[in-house]
Structures are given as structure tokens and as C-alpha cells.
Structure 1
Amino acid sequence: MRAWAAAAWLALLAPAAAAAATAVEPRTVCTITVNSPDEKESFRRHLGTEKYRFVELVERGRPDWLDSSCRAGVFCDILVISAHYDGGNEFFPDSLDAREFLPVSELERVSCSGSCPSLFARLQEVYLFGCNTLNPAPHSGATAEVVRSLVREGLSRERAERELNALAAAHGESSRDRMRQVFKGVPVIYGFASTAPLGHIAGGVLDRYFRQSGERDLARGRPSRALLNTFSNFGMTAVSGMTAADPYWQSRQDMCQFADERRAVAAKLAFVHGLLQRHVGETRLYLDRIRRLRESLDASVRHDPMAAEVLEAIARDEGARERVLAYARRADRPETRVAMFDLARDAGWLTAAQRDDELMAMLAELYTRPELGVSEIHLACQLNADGHLDGRFADGTGGAGGAAPWPAAGGTAQAAMRACLGSAADRAETLQALLSPREADVELAQAYLRHHPVEDAPELRRLADDIAAMAPGAAQVRALEALGRHYVSDREVLETLVALFGRTSSAEVQTAVAGILLRADRSALDAPELRRTLTSLRRDAGREGTIDALIALLGVS
């Protein structure tokens, strides 16, 4: 009887023992610390290591750290990402010498591919400590452009607006929707709709939350009202990952057509060909993904019979060619035109010369706009970075079919654009505009110098002398900023800047000078003497900033 009772007790206790063992199994908190460790350390301090296991996925100096975590078979229950976020494509650090970055495309690859089945498989919560990580606004402007195209095709404004909202959600056009695609099925994703707190501030807010609430709301499958309230001043928000029941689930499926590394190149190209059969506006929404796929192809793809067959089918697709080119020529965003003309060239629909003709026709149209400005100058300089468009504005071949030469009249913006296209006379006029008392003209010249810095030492000295002779004010500050983009090492230029620091009446000019000296090669200057000059002649007493950083650096040099 006693043996039977003992066996019965053991049978009753076995489930309880198993439950106890399960209860004490630690949850895994995975951290991706690209920037500040403050948020990670707050989780570690308050959760401890008895019930939680902490795994840092970033391995310093190792570019394939995410793959390394996949190969190690790590399972994350909670994921904390601490990094700056560019609002669309990448998590990045604020340190200039840091090597660790996290492209969103990498997260998509891990989410879609079978090569990493474990990492996100049991995620319950994700914390995205970066600006705009859950911003609901379309970040590329593509959907609005597509809607304007639909209006031109005859749709009513009301219907076009409905299309705008649907397209934005359906194609992951916002950071929020893109994160929902990446972290599919995750019950709670925390992030910020706009500016996020810096790391040390976020860490302090987390400390306050954990002291008040502990871990009771952690990974419970629903957003923590206490956490959202604690971060209310910073606009923290929460969403859930997409599931197959989501009305926009197909958008994730489309994303994975590109991101899944198991798929053959031929299959990915066939999917692109299928996209080209849809309304061209949808093709436009996938331009960035199509570009990345094109850039990943090498010569070996031509030796893949199936891939070569798809590429040949695309090249012969006259209907797709006409739709893409017609859309490109009327698109109102120049960068869209460039991307679509590049697609047409790579698809075999335009030769390199024909693509240049299309680009020159676009630049000629922009050139005549009254609002011509900095963005158009950047575009012209970027398109002619290798000089292959030099002179095209003046030789009667400005656009497709041989357009007339561009009119030489106009202001600084027109001169800078012609300078980007190889005009020596307009380059001289643009550099002269850097000395203008009008800040708007200086800004236009500054845009040109971003792409064509002064490389001749005597010319740089003359430019520095002329900038130093400008009247103190916003125009001079901007001119100094343009000069500061050059890595200044010339002794005469450095001495000119130090002299300007000593005599100017403007604290803002002094700050601009200090910014140049902070980044310059100062080996030609006497560090103690420069430190005394900065300390005794500064005009921003009581304010900390660039000048203090330079003084501190000189103190240890």
C-alpha cells in the first residue's frame, strides 16, 4: 500500500516538477548594440541573469555577426536594437570610426530565408530604440508620386487619395510597415513615430519604468501601458508584426521574393518580369529593390541558361518598355526618372547613349524652372561625376533628338549646373558666388563644391583669403562651412583662419573657424599658442560647443 501511495505521489509531482523546470528556464534577451549600450544595460540591471539570458549579437570587427548568430542557433525571446536609424534603410552608430551597421535588408534576409530559422522564431517583443523606427508616414514619397500619376490618368482626387493610403501600407512604404513585415507574427514591437531619446536618456527612462513596474508586463503578448506612459514624452508607440490574416500580407510575400537567399537568381528575375506586367506605379514602388538585385548580378548570370532566358524575355518586352519610359518621362521627381532610365538601360531597352539623351532632356527641363536650386545642382554633378556629359549643355545635343543649347542667362543656380556639366567659365562664376553677401548664393556654390572641391593649393589660399575678407554674418559662416569640407593642411590657409578668429566680431564665425580647425591637419600650427588665442579671444563666453572641443583637444596634443 505504501509503495502504491509513493508511486501515486510521484505521478502527481512529476507534472509540477516539469512545470517548475520550465518556469525557471531563462528567457533569452538578444541585443543589437550598434550605438549606445544604455538601453541594454538597463534591461540587464533590472531583469538580472537568473530568469533572463543576455546575448549580444554584434561581434565587434566582424562584418558577418548576424550570420554568426544564426549559425550558433540563437533563439531570441526579446530583441533590443539600440542605434540611430536613417528612417528607411539602415541602423547606424554616431561614432565616425565605428564599423558596425545594420541594414534593414539584412533583417529582411534573416526574416525571409531558411538559413536562419531560429533567431526570430519565438520572438515575443522587439524594442527599436531609434528615431522614426515606427513612423507611419511614407518615407520615399513614392506613393504620393504614383497617386499624382493616377490623377493624370483620369482618376478622381478622392479615389487617388484612397489609392495613396492603400499603396503605402501594401508596399511597406513606411518604417512602421517595413518593421511589421520584418518581424512577422511578433505580438509587440515598440518604437518611435518621430524623434527618439538619446541612449543615456532612454536608459534613464527605462530605469524608472522597471523600478515602478518590474517585469510584470514583459513579453505578455500585449503592449505595456505602463511602458508607453513612461515614454509618452517621446512618442513611443507599439504595433504587432504582420500575420497571414493581415490584409497586406501579400506585401511581405513580395518583399521575400527579393530577400529570400534560397531563391535562385532566375526566379527573382522572373518575379521582376511579373512586376513589370502590373501597373507601372507598382514597379516604381519596387525600384530600390530592383536596383539592389541588378547590382548584385555579375557576369556569371549570363552563363545561367534560365537567368539568361528571363533577361532576354525582359529585353524583348516592348509593352513593359513603353510603360516604363512613358512613366519616367512624366515623373515629377528627378530621382525617379534617373532610376527608371537606369532600369531601362539595364533591361536592354536603352543604350548608354540613349539613356544619356534622356538624362540631358530631363536636366534641360529642370534648368528652365524658376525654383532651380541645391537639389538640381547635386543631381547634375552626380550624373556627371565621371565627366562623360561635359559640354552637352552647349553643343546642341542637350536632349534626345538634338536639343538647342542651353541659354547662358540666369543666376548662380544656372551657372553651378553648367559648371557641373564641365563649363570652366561657369566654375569660376560659381566660386565667385561663394563670396556673395547673399547666403542663398553661397549655398548654391557650396552645393557645387561638395562634388568639385578646390584641389589647387594657390587657388585654395586665394579662396580662404577672400572668405576671410567677407563681412561677418550668415553668408560668411556658410562659406567657411564650404571651405571646411576640404581637409585643410596648408599653413597659409590655417594662419588665415586663425587670424580671422582673432579679429571677427561674430561668435558664429568663430565657431565655424573652430569647426574647420577641429578637422584640419594642425601640425603646422603651434598648439599652445593656438590654445591661448582661442581662450583669450573667444566671443561666446558661457556657451559650450565646438570651440571648447577644440581647446580640449589642443590641451592633450
Structure 2
Amino acid sequence: MPQPFSFISKVFAACLGIAVSASAIGAPRTVCTITVNSPDERESFRRNLPPGDYRFVELVERGRPDWLASACQQKVQCDALIISGHFDGGTEFYTDRHDNSEYLSVEEMERASCSDSCPGVFSQLKEVYLMGCNTLKTEARQTVTEDIVRGLLRSGHTPADASRVAGILGEQHAGTNRDRMRAIFKDVPVIYGFSSLAPLGRTAGPLLDRYFQSAAVPEIGSGQVSSKLMAAFSNTALTVTPGLSDAESKATLRRDACQFVDDRLSASQKVAFMHEVLQRDMAEVRMLLGHLERFAASIPPVQRVAGSTAAAFAKIAGDQGTRGRYLEAARDADEASVRTRMMALATNVGWLTPAQEQAEFMRTIADHVARGRVGRDEVDLACGRGRQDGQDPALRTLATGVLKSGKIAQAAAMACLGSAEAHARVVRAVTSTDADEITIAQAYLRHRPLADVGEVRSVASAISRMPASAAQVRAIETLAQQRVSDPESLRAIAALFPLAKSVQVQRAIAGVLIRSDYRVLGQADLARSLKQHRLKSPDGSDVIDALLRVLQAG
């Protein structure tokens, strides 16, 4: 009597499952793991995959900084790779655990991939699981700016062609996390990752368990996208993409980037390639600036002046035509930070002396001040170069104009470069009613803290006279960053606590006191004042409670 079709189907499916398992046992797949933070994802894979069909290799060797190189040298053949760790948005996988110090930098991954020094870990992969936030984020990290379009026009492109080329450059050099991971894991059929926030390990582990329970036959290492895995993570930002292929236009960019980090190339060969890049259209040079900077900075001073490497640098330094085009493009950059970076690279390759670079920097800040294009970034940039003597006649003339204009950001830039009058203007802005002015003052004072007791007392006194407001809170918070030690100033701020009409003001005051030498106020008296006059917190324990605990412990 013929068997029912359903029975035959079940027998066939069972036989197929046995065949698949037997095949896997004959050639077990290797799952490599890089666990720099939570082991939850790794342990879920380990629990649910048949031990006869899969073997696990943890590549991280605790306490060994070159663990990736060690794994590459051992020629471990990985079919699947699981990387578990926080991802900071572009530079490394890292841990938040105090008992771990391991991390995995994207640059190290790029070097291993480009150098073909890790054929087992990278070249045999069928699948990659990037268990960190933003690992496949598609947001561009670099965009085409107006000065790049101007550069294209300057080099002879028509307006229409310049717009077209700019669009291509923007797409090619966007530098998204997704692009970088696709380039690192070139030709890998399946790369899983997250386009935004990823679940923490304690959440991802159970989601993986749910996936394995729904998959009768394990799909790990098959090189096929798993619809069941995507379904298990449907409420997250899990996404999937293939690795970059040679047929794609971005493969050219990968080849360029690899030239700078390929360990098989000598330093002189890499310097010669850098020269070739610098001779290209300056619009493309601008988009490759990050690669050029990192490579130029990676050459040790001793190596720069030795043999063929020194000769390769000398060729760049002597290329006056490229130098002229490069400096013209640098001076035309809209962003002060880009202009400064380009000048620093010009110094690194021998096109500017340190004195000339400093003069270019001063010109950059002066240009932005004169055009009214100064914000927090420019203030950070100006202060980051170190205090100037403020004796340059051009600087004094510029500062005079800035002070007349009343614009605090420009004044902060001038103060960074040594203008005493501008410094005084920024200090007064701490107690401004304008939130933007206080923000600039905060940025400035992080670089140039209040060093004069008279200034600290003046600010504290001005704060005590401010009406209760959000501006007063910001002013007190700015003072807290200065870690006040002057007793008179601390008494002026502490006296505000009983008078405060909002818990936000009281919290800001506590923020000043907890960072200071509060013993000068009398710990017992201060604790009694806090307890007696504190306003009810709408959202539980806060900095006032923390201060009280410190005072009572003392």
C-alpha cells in the first residue's frame, strides 16, 4: 500500500537533515570570535550549534596587544567571524568592562585586509557578524563642500561637469561605516551589522537563541542571508550587505587606501604613491586628505631621513608645481579645520617650514574672524595652537575691530591668540543672558582657565547678582568647570543656595561645591544649609545628595 505523501516527506526531510549534518561533520565549519566586550553573542552560538559540525576559535588573547597578528600568523581558517564589542562610530570596537583592556581598531583591520597577511581570518569568510552599534551605518562621514566645487572649476571643469564630478566624489568618498566594513571584508558574501543602535549582549543573546530555535538546520557559515535571523532581530536595526567586489567602482578607492597600509610595500614605495596622489586633481586630494595625513604621520623621523624614503620625500618637496596647486586649494578651504590640516600636511611633506605653517594658521584665523565665520570649532582650533604673545600689529588691529563688533566667538578666537582685551570680554560673557555666548565662553575657558583670583571673584559676584534663570544655571555650571579654590568666591556661591527658587540652580551650586575645597566653608554648617533649604528633587537622587554624602562622610 503506498505510503501517504506527508509520511514520505517527513522521512525525506529527516534523511536530508542527517545528510547535511554528516557533511558538516566531515568538514566542520570554523566560527572565529573576537570578543572585546560581552560574551553573550559568542556563547549563544556555542550553545546552539552542533559541536561536531562547528568548532570555535576565540582570536582575542587576553593581555596580548598583538593578538590579531598572532591569529593571522597561526593561519586560522574562519568560515564565520563574530565581533562583539561597542563600536564608537568608526575607529574601534571597545569594551566598557573594567577587567578588560582589549580593543580592535578599524585601522588594524584595514591593514590586515589590505596586506593579505591574514588569509585565514579574512579571505575564507562566508559570513561576518558585527555585533556593535552603527557598524553598518550609512551616514556619510565626509561630504563635498563648495570649495571643492570651486577647485574643480579652477582646474578647468565646466560648471555642469564640476557638479557631476563633485557628485561622484561625494558618493565614492563618503566614508560610511558600511563602506569601510565592506572594503575590509572584501568579497565576503554576507555581512550582518547594525545601521544604528544595536542591542546589548544581554539582549542580543536571547534573540540569537530564539533564532536558533527557529532554524531546524543551522545556517551559520553557509554564505546565505538568513531570513530567520533577520526576523528574530526585526525590532532592531540589524541589516545585511555583501562585501565589496572588484566589479564595483569603489574598488578603486579601496586599492588607493590599501596602498598606504599594505605591509608588503616599502616606505619609499608608499611615499612615491603619496606623491602620485598629490599630483591628482586637488578635489580628489581633498577627499583623500585623511588617508594622506595618517600615512605621513606614520613614518618615524629616523626613517624619513634614511635612504630611499628620504629621496622619495625630497621629490615631493621639490615638486613646486604641485605645491602651488595644493597651497592654493588649502587657502581656499571653507573650513578652518580643513585648511589647518592641509597646511600641517604641507609642512610634513616639506612644502612649508614650521614658521610658514604658523603664519598660515594665523592668516586662517584672521580670515575667519574678518568674515564673521567663527564658532566653537574655530575657538577650539585657535586655543589648541597654544598661547601667542599678542604683539602682532595685524592681530591688535583685528582684535580692536572684533571688540567693537561685540561678537563673542570672534573675541574668543582673538583671546586664544593672546589678546588681553578679548580675554576680558570673554570672561564677562560667562554671566551673559545669551546662551550662545555662554557656550563659547565655556569652550574658551576649557583651554584658558581662570587663573587670576580677581577674575574668579568677579565672576562669582556677577553670578550672585543674576536673576534666577536658565542663564544663571549655565553661568554656575561654567564656573564649576574651573574647580574654584578661592574661599571668598565659594562663600558667594554657597550663599545663593538658600535663596535659589529652582532645583536646577541648587544642583548647579552643588556642582561647584563638590568640585571645590568645601572644607573652607565648614562642612557641618554647609551640610545643615543644604538639608534645610534644598528643594524637592522631581527625579530622585542628584548631585545635592552626592555632596551631602561627601560632607557627612568627612
Which TM-score band (shorter chain)?
0.7 to 0.9
Q: How does 1:111-260 map to 2 (within 5 A)?
A: 111-142=113-144, 146-147=148-149, 149-150=151-152, 155=157, 159-171=161-173, 173-213=175-215, 216-260=218-262
Tell me if 1:409 matches 2:404.
yes
In structure 2, the partner of 1:353 is: 355
2:343 and 2:464 map into 1 onto residues whose CA distance is: 44
Partner of 2:10: none
Aligned ranges 1:65-104 → 2 under 5 Å: 65-94=67-96, 99-104=101-106
In structure 1, distance between residues paired with 2:82 and 2:524? 44
Q: Distance between the aligned counterparts of 1:491 and 1:56, measured in 2?
A: 56
Cα deviation per residue 1:443-502 (whole Å; 9 max; x = unaligned)?
110110121123456754664565465444332333344334445677777777666556
Distance 1:536 1:339, change over 3 A: same
- Which secondary structure state, in structure 1, belongs to the residue aligned with residue 475 of structure 2? helix
- Which of 280, 283, 294 aligns to 2:282? It is 280
Map of 1:289 onto structure 2: 291
**Shift, 1:194, TM fit:** 3.0
CA gap 1:216/1:531 in 2 versus in 1, 3 angstroms = farther
Unaligned runs of 5+ in 2: 1-17
Q: Which amino acid letter does the alignment assign opposite residue 439 of structure 1? A: A
Q: Secondary structure at 1:70's aligned position in 2?
A: helix
Which residue identity is paired with 2:425? Answer: E
The 2-side partners of 1:278 and 1:241 are apart by 28
2: CA distance, partners of 1:470 / 1:37: 53
- The equivalent residue for 1:453 is 449
Corresponding residue for 1:539?
536
Shift of 1:243: 2.4
The answer to whether the 8 Å contact 1:534/1:547 transfers is no
Return the letter of the residue paired with 1:122. Q
Q: How does 1:332-343 map to 2 (within 5 A)?
A: 332-343=334-345
Aligned with 1:30: secondary structure? strand
The alpha carbon displacement at 1:214 in A equals: 6.6
Distance 1:120 1:274 in 2: 29
2:296 touches 2:349 (CA, 8 Å); kept in 1? no
Q: Which residue of 415, 424, 428 corresponds with 1:428?
A: 424
Against the structure 1 CA distance between its residues 329 and 529, is the aligned structure 2 distance closer, same or farther, given a 3 Å change threshold? closer
Code of the residue aligned with 1:32 in structure 2: it is I
CA deviation profile, 1:324-364 (whole Å, cap 9, x unmatched): 01111111122221111112222222222222222222211
Give the equivalent residue in structure 2 for 1:419: 415
Which residue of structure 1 aligns with residue 6 of structure 2? none
Instruction: Give a deviation string over 1:259-316, Cα, whole Å, max 9, x none.
Output: 1123211011000011012111222122222222222223322443211111111111
2:479 aligned with 1:483, yes or no?
A: yes
Amino acid at match of 1:369: R
Q: What is the rounded CA distance, in whole Å, between the counterparts of 1:96 and 1:511 in structure 2?
A: 29
Inter-partner Cα distance in structure 1 for 2:265 and 2:532: 63
Taking a change above 3 Å as real, the CA distance of residues 475 and 351 of structure 1, as seen in their structure-2 partners, is same
Task: Give 1:473's match in structure 2, choosing from 464, 469, 474.
Answer: 469
Partner Cα separation in structure 2 for residue 247 and residue 513 of structure 1: 57
Retained in 1: the 8 A contact 2:438–2:474?
yes
Query: For each residue in 1:206-225, what CA deviation from the matched residue of structure 2 results, as whole angstroms up to 9, or x when unmatched?
Result: 44434444763433323223
CA distance in structure 1 between the partners assigned to 2:436 and 2:241 by the alignment: 43
Change (3 A) 1:396 1:489: closer
Query: Is the contact made by 2:195 and 2:239 (CA closer than 8 Å) also made in structure 1?
Result: yes
Tell me the amino acid that sits aligned with residue 539 of structure 1: K
Provide the rounded CA distance (Å) in 1 between the counterparts of 2:94 and 2:546: 24
CA distance in 1 between partners of 2:155 and 2:319 (Å): 22
Q: Which amino acid aligns with 1:307?
A: T
For the residues of structure 2 that align with 1:161 and 1:446, how far apart are their CA atoms? 40
CA–CA distance in structure 1, aligned partners of residues 241 and 381 of structure 2: 37
Give TM-score scaled by structure 1 length: 0.82
Higher mean Cα deviation, 302-311 or 98-107? 98-107
The verdict on how the C-alpha distance between 1:466 and 1:405 changes in structure 2, with shifts beyond 3 A counting, is closer
Which of 91, 107, 110 is the matching residue for 1:108? 110
Q: Which of these residues, 394, 397, 421, is aligned with residue 396 of structure 1?
A: 394
Distance across 1 between alignment mates of 2:216 and 2:525: 53
> Which secondary structure does the structure 2 equivalent of 1:396 belong to?
helix
Distance in 1 between the 2:59 and 2:74 partners? 10
Q: CA separation of 1:422/1:363 partners in 2, compared to 1, >3 Å: closer, same or farther?
A: same
Distance 1:120 1:222 in 2: 17
Percent of aligned pairs with the same residue? 44
Matched residues in 1 for 2:231 and 2:435: separation?
44
Per-residue CA deviations over 1:16-69 (Å, capped at 9, x if unaligned) read: 999947526554433334444443444344447554444444444443332333
Contact 1:28–1:78 (Cα < 8 Å) also in 2: yes
Contact 1:143–1:168 (CA under 8 A) maintained in structure 2: no
- Report the AA paired with residue 70 of structure 2: S
Cα distance in 2 between the residues matched to 1:541 and 1:336:
45
Q: Name the counterpart of 1:444.
A: 440
Q: Residues of 2 paired with 1:528 and 1:58: CA distance?
A: 54
Distance 1:304 1:182 in 2: 32
Give the letter aligned to residue 404 of structure 2: A
Q: How many angstroms apart in 2 are the aligned matches of 1:517 and 1:120?
A: 54
2:9 — aligned with what? none
Structure 2 CA distance, aligned partners of 1:491 and 1:376?
Answer: 35
C-alpha distance in structure 2 between counterparts of 1:120 and 1:459, whole Å: 59
CA distance in 2, matches of 1:211, 1:24: 24
Mapping of 1:299-378 within 5 angstroms?
299-378=301-380
CA distance in 1, matches of 2:184, 2:491: 54
Write the distance in 2 (CA, Å) between the matches of 1:123 and 1:452: 51
Pairs aligned (count): 534
For structure 1, the 5+ residue unaligned runs are 1-15
